[in-house]
């Protein structure tokens, strides 16, 4: 890529594009690292704060929910707030949330810190994509998104092992404390090197759109999450799901009838954009689902420490970062259809064996299978997003990015909640009666263990369905080369 250092911002002033990209990528790396280290830390938080699996899952699902609420707003913010000011404010919010989580002395305080973090992250990550697409010319867009892919790939590669080592040798607070100086460095760098690079399109913030999107997605996720403790037929669950669907319908109707929509959903009228968004969502759902459940399996059933479970996932996670520049060239050479079919096929083959894992599965096999599936993910994680964005005009990038990210994040929030619900409910359904616990405690323990295995198998099967769905959807892509 031609990384010419001198560029011009919206005020006609020159700026150093390389330094701006470095600041943005370090900041984004920090936010993604913050998102992904929790998978390894969830069992620790369950022990420290004495909470159930269904309760602790609010740390990732609540985070993703707030992300999903903020991402539609990010399109409006990118159009109405100068880029530099917006970046500084959102990174400062992320810093405050991290500080609260670092000092938390209860699960509620930790959750509050995570939700405040999510407010900043919900704007920072879409802003990264919009800026990379805006400041690089069209013929360098694939490579620009490849740079963003390095951030998305390397942070998850580092976080499980790093978090595991910290949890084995120190306090969980270090997970948040180590981020504070990095965020401070990014804020300092942004003061000098961040510039207003996004052209503004001022409009009024539509309050009704904000209310309906927040209530709709919030209620829907609450219903999915509550089902982890209660049954799917519980009145509270059904009411929450119904309220969520009603407000989401109102939100969609409002956006389609507004002259200047809060989030322009008309981008989904473009078939290539819609297919690209669905594919990026399927790969994200398959990735997030297994990344969340696998550490629980490794630590709870196989008896690994957090550090050991992180090491098990490290080789596969590293592949995403290492494959990013290679994937860019493959995308240019073979086109999205061939790349997507290959990627989803490999991902499906890597996912299937996880359904049959047991407590005696060799660790080296888990490492290999996880690496196989992550290799498949590396081929389609950013290329499907890039292909979707290439289908729409430059003037719609902010709304296209927001729509794509909103769909993926809300889907991830819901699927995370559903997977925890499947894990809990399938395990409960296979648990032996309590009478056996007193009459034959060893037999009860053995059957309880088998019940937990059934829960994990069902959860891995659910994650595999998304890779199969993606593989089927790949066949609708046009067999063209770029």
The predicted model gives 182-196 an average pLDDT of 92
Give the confidence band of 289 by pLDDT, cuts at 50, 70, 90: confident
Tell me the range of 180-184, 216-220, 395-399 where mean pLDDT is highest.
180-184
Q: Is a pLDDT exceeding 90 seen at residue 349?
A: yes
**Burial class (CB within 10 angstroms; exposed 0-12, middle 13-18, buried 19+) of 252:** middle
Mean pLDDT lowest among 4-8, 35-39, 64-68, 357-361:
4-8
Q: Is a pLDDT exceeding 60 seen at residue 337?
A: yes
Give the number of C-alpha atoms closer than 13 A to the C-alpha of residue 359, restricted to the C-beta side. Answer: 12
What whole-number distance in Å separates Cα of residue 316 and Cα of residue 386?
23
What whole-number distance in Å separates Cα of residue 63 and Cα of residue 61?
5
Sign of CA dihedral 185, 186, 189, 192: negative
Residue 225 has a pLDDT of 66
pLDDT > 70 in the chain, percent: 92
Query: In this structure, what token pair is assigned to residue 196?
Result: 């207003």
Give the confidence band of 176 by pLDDT, cuts at 50, 70, 90: very high
What is the chain's Cα-based Rg? 22
The predicted model gives 92-121 an average pLDDT of 94
Query: In this structure, what token pair is assigned to residue 5?
Result: 């250092």
Residue 230 has a pLDDT of 65
Residue 68 has a pLDDT of 67
Residue 480 has a pLDDT of 59
The domain ranges of the chain are: 11-205+262-474, 206-261
**Residues facing 7 on adjacent strands:** 15
Give the confidence band of 228 by pLDDT, cuts at 50, 70, 90: low
Distance (Å) of CA 108 to CA 71, 101, 104, 179, 223: 24, 10, 8, 21, 20
* Residue of higher predicted confidence among 185 and 147: 185
CATH architecture of 11-205+262-474: Up-down Bundle (1.20)
Tell me the range of 189-193, 301-305, 310-314, 408-412 where mean pLDDT is highest.
189-193
Q: Is a pLDDT exceeding 70 seen at residue 4?
A: no
What whole-number distance in Å separates Cα of residue 337 and Cα of residue 479?
6
The predicted model gives 108-117 an average pLDDT of 94
Distance (Å) of CA 358 to CA 298, 367, 447, 461: 10, 14, 13, 14
Task: Give the DSSP H or E segment for 7.
Answer: strand 6-8
CA angle 358, 364, 370 (to 5 degrees): 80
DSSP 163-178: HHHHHHHS-TTHHHHT
Q: How many CB atoms lie within 10 A of CB 254?
A: 18
Tell me the range of 61-75, 138-152, 235-249, 423-437 where mean pLDDT is highest.
235-249
Residue 448: partners with Cβ closer than 8 Å, 6 or more residues away = 431, 432
**Residues facing 6 on adjacent strands:** 16
Residue 413 has a pLDDT of 66
Distance (Å) of CA 385 to CA 126, 159, 204, 380, 396: 12, 23, 29, 8, 14
* Residue of higher predicted confidence among 289 and 112: 112
The predicted model gives 90-115 an average pLDDT of 94
Q: How many CB atoms lie within 10 A of CB 244?
A: 21
pLDDT > 90 in the chain, percent: 18
Query: In this structure, what token pair is assigned to residue 171?
Result: 């306090």
* Residue of higher predicted confidence among 202 and 121: 121
Give the number of C-alpha atoms closer than 13 A to the C-alpha of residue 458, restricted to the C-beta side. Answer: 19
The predicted model gives 264-292 an average pLDDT of 84
Residue 158: partners with Cβ closer than 8 Å, 6 or more residues away = 33, 317
C-alpha 7 chain-centroid distance: 31
Mean pLDDT lowest among 256-265, 334-343, 348-357, 364-373:
256-265
Q: What is the mean pLDDT of the chain?
A: 82
Query: In this structure, what token pair is assigned to residue 230?
Result: 């209660």
Provide the phi-psi class of 136: left if phi over 0, else alpha when psi is between -120 and 50, else beta: beta
To which residue do tokens 């539609």 refer?
Answer: 72
pLDDT tens per residue across span 368-392: 999 999 899 888 888 888 888 888 8
Q: Which DSSP letter does residue 365 get?
A: H
- Across the chain, how many H-helices and E-strands are there? 18, 2
The predicted model gives 402-421 an average pLDDT of 75
Return phi, psi of residue 7, to 5°: -140, 175
DSSP 429-472: HHPPPHHHHHH-HHHHHHHHHHHHHHHHHHHHHHHHHHHHHHHH
* Residue of higher predicted confidence among 444 and 319: 319
pLDDT tens per residue across span 22-51: 899 899 889 888 877 777 788 889 889 988
Sign of CA dihedral 62, 66, 69, 71: negative
Q: Is a pLDDT exceeding 80 seen at residue 162?
A: yes
DSSP 177-236: HTHHHHHHHHHHHHHHH----SPP------HHHHHHHHHHHHHHHHHHHHTTTS-TT-HH
The predicted model gives 261-281 an average pLDDT of 86
Residue 481 has a pLDDT of 53
475 SS3 class: coil
């Amino acid at each position: 890529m031609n990384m010419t250092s001198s560029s011009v911002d919206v005020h006609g002033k020159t700026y150093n594009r390389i330094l701006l990209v470095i600041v943005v990528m370090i900041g984004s790396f920090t936010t993604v690292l913050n998102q992904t280290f929790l998978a390894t830390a969830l069992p620790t938080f369950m022990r420290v704060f004495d909470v159930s699996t269904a309760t602790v899952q609010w740390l990732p699902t609540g985070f993703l929910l707030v992300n999903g609420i903020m991402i539609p707003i990010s399109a409006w913010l990118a159009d109405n707030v100068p880029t530099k000011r917006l970046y500084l404010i959102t990174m400062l919010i992320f810093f405050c949330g991290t500080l609260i989580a670092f000092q938390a002395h209860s699960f509620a305080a930790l959750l509050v810190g995570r939700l405040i973090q999510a407010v900043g992250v919900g704007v920072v990550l879409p802003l990264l994509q919009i800026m990379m697409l805006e400041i690089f010319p069209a013929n360098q867009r694939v490579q620009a998104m490849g740079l963003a892919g390095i951030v998305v790939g390397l942070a998850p590669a580092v976080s499980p092992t790093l978090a595991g080592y910290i949890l084995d040798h120190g306090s969980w607070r270090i997970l948040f404390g180590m981020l504070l100086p990095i965020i401070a460095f990014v804020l300092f760098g942004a003061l000098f090197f961040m510039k207003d690079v996004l052209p503004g399109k001022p409009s009024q913030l539509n309050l009704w759109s904000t209310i309906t999107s927040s209530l709709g997605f919030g209620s829907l996720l609450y219903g999915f999450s509550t089902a982890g403790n209660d049954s799917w037929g519980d009145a509270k669950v059904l009411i929450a799901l119904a309220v969520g669907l009603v407000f989401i319908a109102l939100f969609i109707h409002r956006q389609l009838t507004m002259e200047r929509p809060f989030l322009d959903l008309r981008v989904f009228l473009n078939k290539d954009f819609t297919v690209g968004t669905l594919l990026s969502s399927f790969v994200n759902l398959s990735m997030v689902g297994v990344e969340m459940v696998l550490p629980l399996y490794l630590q709870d059933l196989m008896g690994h420490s957090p550090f050991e479970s992180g090491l098990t996932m490290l080789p596969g996670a590293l592949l995403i970062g290492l494959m990013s520049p290679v994937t860019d060239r493959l995308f240019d050479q073979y086109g999205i259809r061939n790349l997507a079919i290959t990627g989803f096929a490999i991902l499906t083959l890597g996912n299937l064996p996880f359904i049959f894992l047991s407590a005696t599965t060799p660790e080296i096999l888990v490492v290999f299978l996880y690496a196989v599936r992550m290799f498949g993910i590396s081929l389609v994680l950013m290329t499907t997003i890039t292909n979707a964005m290439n289908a729409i005009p430059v003037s719609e990038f902010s709304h296209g990015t927001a729509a794509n990210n909103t769909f993926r994040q809300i889907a991830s929030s819901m699927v995370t909640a559903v997977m925890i619900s499947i894990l809990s409910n399938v395990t409960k359904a296979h648990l032996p009666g309590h009478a056996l616990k007193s009459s034959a405690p060893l037999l009860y323990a053995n059957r309880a263990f088998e019940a937990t295995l059934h829960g994990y198998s069902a959860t891995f099967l659910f994650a595999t369905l998304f890779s199969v769905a993606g593989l089927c959807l790949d066949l609708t892509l046009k067999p063209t080369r770029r």
